[in-house]
Structure 1
Amino acid sequence: MKIGILAPGHAPEALRPAHGDYPDMFMRLLGEEGFTFRLWDVEAMEFPDSPSEAEGWLITGSRHGVYEGHAFIAPLEAFIRETYAAGVPMVGICFGHQIIAQALGGRVEKFGGGWAVGPTDYEIEGTPLTLNAWHQDQVLAPPEGARTVGHNPFCAHAALLYDGRAFTLQPHPEFDTPFIKGLMDTRAPGVVPEEHLAGARARMDVPVSSVTTARRIARFFKERS
């Protein structure tokens, strides 16, 4: 099965030699599932010609906000709507979770409650899971047709399922502990309040459920291929 990866942003340049970019992390995460991959750098305005260029689509995270006026936002939303109408399965993570919601009529905003950083506990599809988080923006109102299947007290819509056509997550199953530590060093200073960082550092030894989540993502794609 061919998965098209749409990258609306990139990992910090200082972290890429050790960790790779966001698409590399997803290819590692899903590497045992028998997929092939092709990448489009949508931040650089590289877009597929049609949803049929892949059998499933994955939209990665980004440092950008989905409500910002970047040139790639409108064409990415148009591609999401076209893909949804065509019934080609989509998975969105963090920014991907938010842009799919926004493209289909939901509301995304910078959350007044602050940041979620590092190992964070969720209930997703009835199962307690711990996954790494790195966000302040949230889906505050899902679009019509989306069902909330994951949440915690901080994030009411942490996972959404769209009539079998899309499965999206606010947390990052692709982020491991060393990468989260790297983000704290490179992107957090002056942006993420120290109390949030201190809370994350205190939980760095908590195991995360990346393998379980990777299997769920793979199953979603395969069941709809």
Structure 2
Amino acid sequence: MTSPLLILKAGATFPALAQTLGDFDDWIRAGLEAPGLDIRVADARRGALPPPQALAGVVITGSHAMVSDREPWSEAAAAWLRAAVHAGLPVLGICYGHQLLAHSLGGEVGYHPGGIEVGTVSVQLQPAAADDPVLGALPAVFPAQVVHRQSVHQLPAGAVRLAANAFEPNQAFRVGPAAWGVQFHPEFSAQAMRAYVERLGPELRNEGHDPAALAAGVVDTPAAARVLRHFARHVQAT
């Protein structure tokens, strides 16, 4: 029997959005495009997690929580992630998951001094991504969906920066042979991204942003979405 791939839920989207489009784990499951994989879901905020040795891989979702708050469930998930990476389990952390992965391995996470990054942004691959099995085949520059107030200020020791932009120098990294973090959201559709901009509209206006302009700038991000498919293929090949 093939070991399952785990989607580790670190949070949930807004309830109204979940009713119409589904939740983070639904979007990730669809984006993996891996009918041959047994995909399970576990909520990091509730209960014990399976041993990494029983899994084929893990994807950690985003969250509306903040890694720097160091909530007990989050710190427990960080310890679990650290063990998973040391065991060689393929790992993909998205947004909060990206930050949690960095934190778990000794990196530094905190609020971005520039405030929120939200909407569709341009991301550039770094030279180290050239032969990467998850990001290497992406275009040199590609659009991606983002919504985050915290970021990885310092990568863990030995980590390799794979993607960046002018606002966020650590849009993606790899640590070890099989653990990746991406600050952007490969699972977000343009519809989901516009819904986030609309939902955050009042606070965005208070912070000097134009929600209408941000929403108008949202486009589909098929290149970024390939990260999930590439990760699934990597898991299936190992």
TM over 0.5: yes
Decide whether the 8 Å contact of 1:167 with 1:220 is kept in 2: no
Q: Which residue of 2 aligns with 1:180?
A: 193
| Aligned-CA RMSD value | 1.9
Match of 1:41?
43
How far 1:206 moved relative to its partner?
Answer: 5.6
Determine which of 141, 160, 181 is the counterpart of 1:168: 181
For 1:141-161, what per-residue CA distance to the aligned partner results, in whole angstroms no more than 9, with x for missing partners?
A: 000021001101111011001
Which of 153, 156, 159 matches 2:172? 159
* Matched letter for residue 29 of structure 1: G
Which amino acid in the other structure matches residue 74 of structure 1? E
Q: Kindly tell me: are residues 109 and 32 of structure 1, through their superposed partners in 2, closer, same or farther at Cα, counting changes over 3 Å?
A: same
Query: Which residue does the alignment assign to 1:51?
Result: 52
Q: Which runs of 4+ in 1 moved over 4 A?
A: none
Structure 1 gaps, min length 5: none
Q: What is residue 98 of structure 1 aligned with on the other side?
A: 99
Task: Give the distance between the partners of 1:152 and 1:196, measured in 2 at CA.
Answer: 21
3-state DSSP of counterpart to 1:195: coil
Q: Does 1:60 align with 2:61?
A: yes
Deviates most, 77-86 or 125-134 = 125-134
SS at match of 1:5: strand
Alignment deviations for residues 55-93 of structure 1 (CA, whole Å, 9 cap, x no partner): 101100000110114220121011011111111111000
User: In structure 1, how many angstroms separate the alpha carbons of the residues matched to 2:70 and 2:210?
Assistant: 28
Give the superposition deviation at 1:94. Answer: 0.2
| Matched residue SS, 2:28 | helix
Other-structure match for 1:87: 88
Q: How far, CA to CA, are the matches of 1:196 and 1:221 in structure 2?
A: 40
Take 1:185 and 1:5, find their aligned partners in 2: how far apart are those partners? 27
Q: Is the 8 A contact 1:117 1:197 kept in 2?
A: no
In the TM superposition, residue 194 of structure 1 has moved relative to its aligned partner by 4.8
Q: Structure 1 pair 132/51, CA: closer, same or farther in 2 (3 Å)?
A: same
| Letter of the structure 1 residue corresponding to residue 8 of structure 2 | L
TM norm structure 1:
0.91
**C-alpha displacement at 1:4, in angstroms?**
0.5
Residue 209 of structure 2 is matched in structure 1 by: 195
1:8 aligns with 2:10: yes
Q: How many residues align?
A: 223
Amino acid at match of 1:117: V
| Residue 26 (structure 1) aligned to one of 21, 25, 28 | 28
Where 2:89 maps in the other structure, the secondary structure is coil
**Deviation string, structure 1 residues 160-204 (Cα, Å, up to 9, x no partner):** 011212011000011111111211233443257351534422312
| 2:164 counterpart letter in structure 1 | H
